[in-house]
Structure 1
Amino acid sequence: MTDAGHSELTRRQALAAVGTAAAGAAALGAGVAAARPAGGSDVQDDGNGLIVAGNVRLTVITPRLVRYEYSARRRFENRTTMLAHNRAARSGEYRVTRSGGTLTLETAALTLTCPVGSFDPAAPQVTLKHSGARVRPAWQPDRYVPAVSGMVFLVNAFESWPAQVPPLPPGNLGGWLRCLDGVRDTVNLQPGLLSTHGWFFIDDSQSALIGDGDTPARRAADPQYRDGYLFAYGRDYRQALADLRTLSGAAPMLPRQAFGNWFSRYAPYPDDYYRTSLLPTYRANGASLDVLVVDTDFKSPNTWNGWNWNQRLFPNPARFFRWAHDQDLAVALNIHPSISGDDVQFPLAQRRSGGALKAALTPASRFFSALGKNVKGAFGPTFVWDLTDRRQVDSFMRAHDPLEKQGVDLWWLDWIIDEAYSGIPPQELAADVWIARAYGRRPRMRQTRWPLLARNGASYWDMVGTRPGPWGGHRYTIHFTGDTYATWGTLAMEVKFTHAEGNIAMPYVSHDIGGFKGETDPERYVRWMQFGAFSPIMRIHSQNLQTRRLPWEFTAPYRQAAAEMLRVRSALVPYLYTAGRIAHETGLPMARGMYLHWPHAPHAYRAEHQYLLGEDLLVSPVVKPDGAVQVWFPEGTWVNCFTGIRVTGPTVKRMRMGLSDVPVYARAGATVPVRAAVSPAAATAAPIALRVHAGADGVSRLYHDDGHSHEHRDGAYSWTTMSWNDTDRALTTAVESPTGFGGPTITRVDIVGLGGAPTGVIVDGRPVPDKDWSYDPRSRTASADVVVHPGQTQAGGSDVRA
């Protein structure tokens, strides 16, 4: 595919924006200062981060993040890009001077110099204050050839693409891949924001521009125009991610349901399977089922390109949705952005597009038939949309209307083989990210917290996708990582990949738990389920009915060990929901590489198969046969969440875990909120148990709101602070809310990691009767039944002592 057929359209749409500036200056560290000349009358400085001198414009976004633009025509760009979502972000904490033809900018983190009269490919030059190192950006070449074409299917070379990902630059801590399709072992990652060198540069010069609508614009021709972002953070990686959030926007706040158990399988299930078999079996095994992902076989006339229900499987779709919602189930439908020419909706879709839909070169249905998947339905021509054309976007989105009216909650855009495309070259726009944005801007989607479940960061036509990469995708996407093989190597890669994607601001990573392709041996399946239970999204998926992925499809003891992980996941929802809220607010991912908290510890960079989940849990999934695991414990005391055994760090321990043993440890002093009993993840009023991990003082937090609406934006939420005094063995809770929104009811407190049974338990000064508390020596846990009602005022809480 070339962009020749679209160049006229995009050139008409392109508008040159003239940069604005006003005279003024700001003193370093002085905040927003009054406008005044800075180092010469030919420097324009508005005193709040916008500086123009000669052909250069600098924008101080934060003291650690500076935008550099050069334009020989002095025409600077104010419109947003997928990366630069927030053009209003500025900082007044800087000092700027000009000496002759050189402009110098100083902030608390860096000193930047550049010529103002001509473009120097080595400009700007930057001195990093944390190390004294002098660095300079690497600008992307003007020409770009996609590393992998969508036409690779014609030569059966699709699965060769991972080998084409280049090694990471020295020091870079990794970031992303579009997907893990075809991956069987560890592969290279694309770069992320974080580097041990303490800085990172993003060249945004060629990225498409975004106005108010759904049509991107190509930049005006200016062969010397450069636009880049310099991040200087030293080892303060957490602040670097906060700065990226400032520039690129926040990850969405997911509904509470998203953190429960998901089920999917590529098989033609009838609706009564979900009603009479799947959900009852989950509940019989003591686990909640929270999200149903209905794969492509529900469609008609073609199971890949259809836009209507297969009436044999779903005779009454509206009734199916009513049943699902009555059972606190969210339903996702699989969509491929293509439509069969013999679909009854095709004439309307074509008319809405203005007759612009084009026949696909490589219809997916034919490939799947050739590869052994019997795609049902007619095999007429397949048509695709250009999702950068306003009329075609409208045509594509309105094709969803009948299904949405029946009750679908979220969409799984399974965009890997179809040729729906963006009429912008791949070096200017990442098609996956653009399409996710189009969903996010759909009015109906704005009424829900659900984003799109989709691949992220490139396109089918450019699998390696080195630019413009994934930037901005975190605002719209739960990252579906694709159709992986069921191997130990894939499991290990997923663990590494999950926390690495936090380095591109992506907190919500969703793997096919158990692997998609091929049968898995029972031990590996259990280890995959253990990883899934302690990952951002727990979504079981598989290739067909023959690939076992449900615990009760295995024999003992694997059945019991895997089913326990469904129950653990159900219990963890309050903790995970809190971690999601923190990701939304701060830019910190749910799964965090160890270096985010211990940036000066060499072991933190080598421990790539472990991570922190949220603030308090250290997770080290077993990724090798026979239970072998190596865990690095940072300084402090760590308590095994299942056995109560304490480990004092810093230390590295090599252990062999039994089949049911899960290497998850809590910080001593941490209080992990869990569901007191099994209940649907969507349930707002479900009671909470607080699991305190003894061994040190500590403070933890629990976030609570209604779980689904946008009322939290108006203050309808609460934070419960849980403070543990280890000397007194006392837990104090306090609830705060800007609007008086109450916290959840607490009905049990577990104290994990005790050396023996306590002599008693006291709640708010009153002894708890002996019959209402117990001690389990196997897990070193004392448990007490309590009743702590949610605070109804701005401050409320309780005190528990053991």
Structure 2
Amino acid sequence: MKFTDGYWLMRPGVTARYATEVADVRTGEDRMTLYAPVKHVRRRGDTLNSPLLTIECWSPAEGVIGVRTTHHAGSVQRGPEFAFPGSEQGAGKVRRDGDVVELSAGELTLRVDTTQPWHLEFSADGRVLTTVGERGTGFVTDAEGRHHMLGQLSLGVGELVYGLGERFTPFVRNGQVVDIWQADGGTSSEQAYKNIPFHLTNKGYGVFVNHPGKVSYEVGSESVGQVQFSVEDQSLEYLIVYGPTPKRILERYTALTGRPALPPAWSLGLWLTTSFTTDYDEATVNRFVGGMAERGIPLSVFHLDCFWMREYQWCDFVWDPDTFPDPAGMLARLKEQGLRISAWINPYIAQKSELFAEGMREGYLVRRPDGSVWQWDLWQPGMALVDFTNPAATAWYTGKLRTLLDVGVDCFKTDFGERIPTDVVWHDGSDPERMHNYYTHLFNRAVFELLTEVRGEGEALLFARSATAGGQQYPVHWGGDCESHFNAMAESLRGGLSLGLSGFGFWSHDIGGFEGTPTPAVFKRWTQFGLLSSHSRLHGSKSYRVPWDFGDEAVDVTREFTLLKHRLAPYLQRASQQAHATGIPVMRAMVLEFPDDPAAATLDRQYMLGDDLLVAPVFTEDGTVEYYVPEGTWTNVLTGQQVTGPRWVREQHGFHTLPLLARPDSVIPFGADDQRPVSAWAEGVELRVHAFADGAERTVVIPRSDGPGETARFHVTRSGDRLTVTTDSPLPWQLRIGGPDGTLHTQPAGTSEAHLPYPA
């Protein structure tokens, strides 16, 4: 939110008060509190009739320092609050040397000179990261009398800002105005489904604003050398998270706010849905599933969208008897074909549903201040909202879901959760403004915890649209309602990469686009992109997304890339385990993997899939693609062609290839089974060695398919013209040097060490 009129003036009706100096400081062993007047105090009389800001500084974890500025401390704090499962007591250490006070948390230090005008300095390893200057701490009242707390952190020359959730606007946030406020706005506007008050910069630190309500950002916009954030409140808290690398920032941030659960490995396969408002029944489902099998396209998950329930009655969790007269039998027959089942749900109860009267009677629905149930006719007639702040309402809602799990549903698409009203009263007394963003967290957590309870640890999985900070704990999230053209495909990728830089490890999108119908070219290119994402789902709105609707070549492309993803399953599962253990996403913006390469800083049309694969989707009708290759010799996994960087490359690709490059010195495991995502990955695994330099060495882990851990480990080294492989695997394995047509060496079971020639 902008408060100033240019650099010198305030906007009409706006009054600002900023910390000017330190009047007093109180220190403890691990925290300090600063008291800052909003005008210079020269004599005792200056202490009268003027605000005094309280600034508390502490550390919740190593490498993290928190700052909380308060104007009036007597305001009622009704919640909700973000949880910090990774916080530590006493992580900071205070040191005072004369007039200088420092708070350190590992390498990160906050320094304050109490004799100088107001100035906070955050530094690490001898380098200043960011500062808070003369307008950086304070409060503002606007023309309507609303009270805002604000903070400003300096931006250095060339400093770039990323994150703030899944945003579809330009990838680098500099110059943007961003409101952290959940909205159902599609993928083509400044609104976002997943608003996260966390950003990081290319200067080695991140910032989390600990406020679940609306946070208004001016990112080098109102003041071009500052990131400003403000909240309508009496207190503002933010945490500085030190890296120095982007990966380390995400590791620390997700350690504090929660790491993503590990999705089951079966979810890595291809998902197909009925689509949204299309006509479908059991015959349609069977035609889709049978059609995929007839064309040799393995399918892992089948999703039933909204109309598995009766119209006007969402969500009552009752199968429409006209279209699905035998749901238990249908799901059993689908499961006999090896499929998992996903069902669409949302947190709304339509008035026509019998659950509405039950929920109203028991007090399970959100109410207005006068005690009436909040309702509107948008989305569903007379729709009400389940109050997840009420434990009894949560148990009631999840109890309905249990009946679906009993008949064979494996996971849920938790749709919506963004249009949450603020003119309501919550069961636990939560602040409606703070609950607007936070509601989705309660919704997704309730469903995820039920799945964990019923299906077991490691089997819980959502397909969620909305989220706030901490929501990364309940994967997977998808990108929402996009159009069906190349621009929408590119904006979807932008959003996914931004979400990955906001702490989310897993992300998907609607292959082919949601609104409208894609051209065959768009469908085929989006299919390549989708099957090289962490999770892959074919889904549309008014039209189906079965590949044969887009021509014979679309069928071939879908088959080829589904089989490729199955062969890459051990590699992808390893990347998934990394996301679960460290918070580093499966799909990574290039700046995350190459922070020291200036050319990588703004790239948003390509990404790293795991540690070693570079993907550059094609966004053009004629197959032309421009992408950047970092330093070294990279190998196209599909064609064997090598490209040496650093440089920009322009290529043209048919629909059966795209830039899918293996990193120099990489060893990528390919599973032997291309028909399913879950198999005995270590048996017959093929290790593909790419541009391995003399003296290079890599360790390759073949992960477990049923959770964290590994089943085999290979250590590969090169010395001159000899490649040595040692392994603890008792199973047969293969090694291929180069691309798909490279030299293949087959090793029998029990080969614990092999010495192989490396071609000149």
Q: TM-score of the superposition, structure 1-length normalised?
A: 0.72
| Structure 2 counterpart of 1:720, from 713, 718, 730 | 713
Aligned pair 1:308/2:315, yes or no?
no
Query: In the alignment, what sits opposite 2:504?
Result: 506
- Of 410-419 and 603-612, deviating more is 410-419
Paired residues of 1:673 and 1:691 also in contact (CA < 8 A): yes
Paired with 1:617 and 1:414, the residues of 2 have a C-alpha distance of 31
Per-residue CA distance 1:18-67 (angstroms, 9 max, x = gap): xxxxxxxxxxxxxxxxxxxxxx996321xxx5566886543334453112
- Secondary structure in structure 1 of the residue aligned to 2:254: helix
Question: Residues 593 and 382 from structure 1, CA distance in 2 versus in 1: closer, same or farther, beyond 3 angstroms?
Answer: closer
**Across the two proteins, how many residue pairs are aligned to each other?**
654
Question: Residues 744 and 593 from structure 1, CA distance in 2 versus in 1: closer, same or farther, beyond 3 angstroms?
Answer: farther
Paired with 1:195 and 1:332, the residues of 2 have a C-alpha distance of 37
Query: In the alignment, what sits opposite 2:590?
Result: 594
Paired with 1:730 and 1:640, the residues of 2 have a C-alpha distance of 21
Query: In the alignment, what sits opposite 2:670?
Result: 674
Paired with 1:731 and 1:284, the residues of 2 have a C-alpha distance of 43
Per-residue CA distance 1:415-445 (angstroms, 9 max, x = gap): 1687588653334653223322233344636
Per-residue CA distance 1:168-219 (angstroms, 9 max, x = gap): 65399999996885335899998753212433333325669xxxxxxxxxxx
Per-residue CA distance 1:573-619 (angstroms, 9 max, x = gap): 21111110011111211111112222121110132211111011011
Per-residue CA distance 1:480-537 (angstroms, 9 max, x = gap): 2212100111111122222221111111111001101111111111110111111111
| Structure 2 counterpart of 1:271, from 272, 282, 292 | 282
Query: In the alignment, what sits opposite 2:559?
Result: 563
Structure 1 residues not aligned, in runs of 5+: 1-39, 146-161, 209-221, 367-378, 458-469, 736-742, 754-778, 790-795
Paired with 2:418 and 2:464, the residues of 1 have a C-alpha distance of 13
Paired with 1:684 and 1:173, the residues of 2 have a C-alpha distance of 49
| Structure 2 counterpart of 1:330, from 340, 350, 375 | 340
| Structure 1 counterpart of 2:270, from 261, 264, 272 | 261
Equivalent residue letter for 1:363: D
Paired residues of 1:171 and 1:197 also in contact (CA < 8 A): no
| Structure 2 counterpart of 1:202, from 180, 194, 208 | 208
- Secondary structure in structure 2 of the residue aligned to 1:452: coil
Question: Residues 608 and 752 from structure 1, CA distance in 2 versus in 1: closer, same or farther, beyond 3 angstroms?
Answer: same
Per-residue CA distance 1:393-421 (angstroms, 9 max, x = gap): 23322222221222221111111687588
Paired with 1:481 and 1:635, the residues of 2 have a C-alpha distance of 31
Query: In the alignment, what sits opposite 1:662?
Result: 658
Query: In the alignment, what sits opposite 1:534?
Result: 532
Paired with 1:633 and 1:482, the residues of 2 have a C-alpha distance of 30
Question: Residues 499 and 67 from structure 1, CA distance in 2 versus in 1: closer, same or farther, beyond 3 angstroms?
Answer: same
Query: In the alignment, what sits opposite 2:28?
Result: 44
5 Å-filtered alignment, 1:50-449, equals 57-70=56-69, 81-82=81-82, 84-88=84-88, 91=91, 94=93, 96-97=95-96, 99=98, 103-106=101-104, 109-114=107-112, 124-127=120-123, 129=125, 131-132=127-128, 134-136=130-132, 169-170=173-174, 181-184=185-188, 192-204=198-210, 225-234=235-244, 236-264=245-273, 265-266=275-276, 267-274=278-285, 276-300=286-310, 302=312, 304-353=314-363, 359=373, 361-365=375-379, 381-415=382-416, 424-427=431-434, 429-442=437-450, 444=453, 447-449=456-458
| Structure 1 counterpart of 2:607, from 611, 616, 619 | 611
Paired residues of 1:199 and 1:230 also in contact (CA < 8 A): yes
Question: Residues 237 and 491 from structure 1, CA distance in 2 versus in 1: closer, same or farther, beyond 3 angstroms?
Answer: same
Paired with 2:350 and 2:298, the residues of 1 have a C-alpha distance of 37
5 Å-filtered alignment, 1:454-469, equals 454-457=464-467
Q: Counting strand residues as a fraction of each chain, which structure ranks higher? A: 2
- Secondary structure in structure 1 of the residue aligned to 2:432: coil
Equivalent residue letter for 2:84: A
Paired with 1:752 and 1:180, the residues of 2 have a C-alpha distance of 46
Please report how far the alpha carbon of residue 348 of structure 1 lies from its aligned counterpart in structure 2 after TM superposition: 3.9
Question: Residues 364 and 499 from structure 1, CA distance in 2 versus in 1: closer, same or farther, beyond 3 angstroms?
Answer: same
Paired residues of 2:295 and 2:555 also in contact (CA < 8 A): no
- Secondary structure in structure 2 of the residue aligned to 1:193: strand
- Of 238-247 and 185-194, deviating more is 185-194
- Secondary structure in structure 2 of the residue aligned to 1:631: strand
How large is the Cα RMSD of the aligned pairs? 4.1
Question: Residues 478 and 524 from structure 1, CA distance in 2 versus in 1: closer, same or farther, beyond 3 angstroms?
Answer: same
Question: Residues 703 and 186 from structure 1, CA distance in 2 versus in 1: closer, same or farther, beyond 3 angstroms?
Answer: farther
Paired residues of 2:103 and 2:110 also in contact (CA < 8 A): yes
Question: Residues 139 and 489 from structure 1, CA distance in 2 versus in 1: closer, same or farther, beyond 3 angstroms?
Answer: farther
Question: Residues 111 and 339 from structure 1, CA distance in 2 versus in 1: closer, same or farther, beyond 3 angstroms?
Answer: closer
Question: Residues 751 and 529 from structure 1, CA distance in 2 versus in 1: closer, same or farther, beyond 3 angstroms?
Answer: same
Q: TM-score of the superposition, structure 2-length normalised?
A: 0.76
Paired residues of 1:674 and 1:690 also in contact (CA < 8 A): yes
Please report how far the alpha carbon of residue 95 of structure 1 lies from its aligned counterpart in structure 2 after TM superposition: 5.0
Paired residues of 2:61 and 2:86 also in contact (CA < 8 A): no
Paired residues of 1:520 and 1:548 also in contact (CA < 8 A): no
Aligned pair 1:801/2:756, yes or no?
yes
Paired residues of 1:50 and 1:57 also in contact (CA < 8 A): yes
Paired residues of 1:385 and 1:420 also in contact (CA < 8 A): no
| Structure 2 counterpart of 1:518, from 508, 516, 519 | 516
Per-residue CA distance 1:253-288 (angstroms, 9 max, x = gap): 1100111111112234333544x4333433343332
Structure 2 residues not aligned, in runs of 5+: 1-23, 36-53, 149-165, 215-231
5 Å-filtered alignment, 1:748-759, equals 748-753=734-739
- Of 622-631 and 560-569, deviating more is 560-569
- Of 553-562 and 167-176, deviating more is 167-176
Paired residues of 1:633 and 1:649 also in contact (CA < 8 A): yes
Paired residues of 1:178 and 1:455 also in contact (CA < 8 A): no
Question: Residues 637 and 186 from structure 1, CA distance in 2 versus in 1: closer, same or farther, beyond 3 angstroms?
Answer: farther
Paired with 1:570 and 1:173, the residues of 2 have a C-alpha distance of 41
- Secondary structure in structure 2 of the residue aligned to 1:557: helix
Please report how far the alpha carbon of residue 291 of structure 1 lies from its aligned counterpart in structure 2 after TM superposition: 1.4
Equivalent residue letter for 2:82: M
Paired residues of 1:338 and 1:419 also in contact (CA < 8 A): no
Please report how far the alpha carbon of residue 247 of structure 1 lies from its aligned counterpart in structure 2 after TM superposition: 1.1
Per-residue CA distance 1:452-476 (angstroms, 9 max, x = gap): 321234xxxxxxxxxxxx3211112
- Secondary structure in structure 1 of the residue aligned to 2:482: coil
Query: In the alignment, what sits opposite 1:480?
Result: 478
Please report how far the alpha carbon of residue 111 of structure 1 lies from its aligned counterpart in structure 2 after TM superposition: 3.4
- Of 169-178 and 664-673, deviating more is 169-178
- Secondary structure in structure 2 of the residue aligned to 1:400: helix
Question: Residues 427 and 633 from structure 1, CA distance in 2 versus in 1: closer, same or farther, beyond 3 angstroms?
Answer: same
Paired with 1:206 and 1:503, the residues of 2 have a C-alpha distance of 19
- Secondary structure in structure 1 of the residue aligned to 2:505: coil
Paired with 1:559 and 1:495, the residues of 2 have a C-alpha distance of 23
Question: Residues 747 and 107 from structure 1, CA distance in 2 versus in 1: closer, same or farther, beyond 3 angstroms?
Answer: closer
Paired residues of 2:198 and 2:208 also in contact (CA < 8 A): no
Paired with 1:528 and 1:481, the residues of 2 have a C-alpha distance of 14
| Structure 2 counterpart of 1:780, from 741, 750, 759 | 741
Question: Residues 509 and 268 from structure 1, CA distance in 2 versus in 1: closer, same or farther, beyond 3 angstroms?
Answer: same
Paired residues of 2:213 and 2:433 also in contact (CA < 8 A): no
Paired with 2:548 and 2:240, the residues of 1 have a C-alpha distance of 52
Equivalent residue letter for 1:577: Q
Aligned pair 1:631/2:627, yes or no?
yes
